[in-house]
Amino acid sequence: TDNFSLTPLVKYKSQDQNFQLLYQSLFCLWMLTFNNEVKEKMTDPELVFNLVEIFKQVEVLTVRRMTIATLRVSLKRVNLVI
């Protein structure tokens, strides 16, 4: 549908401390990057911005790795990253 958005999955505020929930949300988002019907939504500028902000603000290594994996796969699926 046109109103479908993945952005709420990765809204992050610097005062949030639930890294396990953030990691699980990112993992779900990463899994969705392999769905052909969803891949076009993965380049939404707000979503990409939120993922970059998570990477910059969160120092938990597993969250950072999942953020990079999600960005890498989602942007590669639409040929924006080699």
Prediction pTM value? 0.75
- Range in 8-12, 23-27, 49-53 the model is least confident about: 8-12
Q: What does DSSP assign to residue 78?
A: T
Is residue 34 within 8 A of residue 66, CB to CB? The reply is: no
Residue-wise pLDDT for 29-58, tens only, equals: 899 888 877 777 777 888 888 899 899 989
Tokens read off for 82: 């080699």
* % of the chain at pLDDT higher than 70: 72
* DSSP H helices in the chain: 19-32, 45-57, 61-76
Q: Is the pLDDT of residue 19 over 60?
A: yes
Tokens read off for 27: 């993992």
